[in-house]
């Protein structure tokens, strides 16, 4: 597991890897819903699998179902990573 904080830039990279470079994730996407960005629940679950592999952790699917925006997802992931680091 990485000791680094999960950032918006990391999320952008992982989202692009899953959807391809043709998605527009530039600019202020922090509070734009994933639906408005073109990501459905299946795409978010794939994103979760990618994050889990990269960070070597198992994430609950509810993290990705409950987060409606990139900011909410980044915050939830950082809370989970912090919990794992302090356990």
- The backbone torsions φ and ψ at residue 62, rounded to the nearest 5 degrees and listed phi first, read -65, -25
User: Among 80, 76, 85, which residue's Cα sits nearest to residue 34?
Assistant: 76
Backbone conformation region of residue 22, classed left if phi is above 0, alpha if psi is from -120 to 50, else beta: alpha
For the cut 90, the answer to whether the pLDDT of residue 57 exceeds it is: no
- The backbone torsions φ and ψ at residue 24, rounded to the nearest 5 degrees and listed phi first, read -95, 100
pLDDT digits (tens, 9 = 90+) for 30-55: 999 999 998 888 888 889 999 989 88
Q: Whole-angstrom Cα distance, residue 75 to residue 23?
A: 22
Work out the average pLDDT over 15-32: 83
């Amino acid at each position: 597991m990485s000791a680094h904080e999960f950032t918006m830039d990391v999320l952008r990279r992982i989202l692009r890897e899953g959807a391809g470079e043709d998605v527009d994730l530039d600019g202020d996407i922090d509070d734009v819903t994933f639906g408005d960005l073109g990501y459905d629940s299946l795409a978010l679950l794939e994103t979760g699998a990618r994050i889990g592999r990269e960070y070597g952790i198992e994430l609950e699917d509810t993290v990705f179902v409950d987060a409606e925006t990139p900011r909410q997802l980044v915050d939830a992931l950082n809370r989970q990573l912090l919990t794992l680091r302090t356990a």
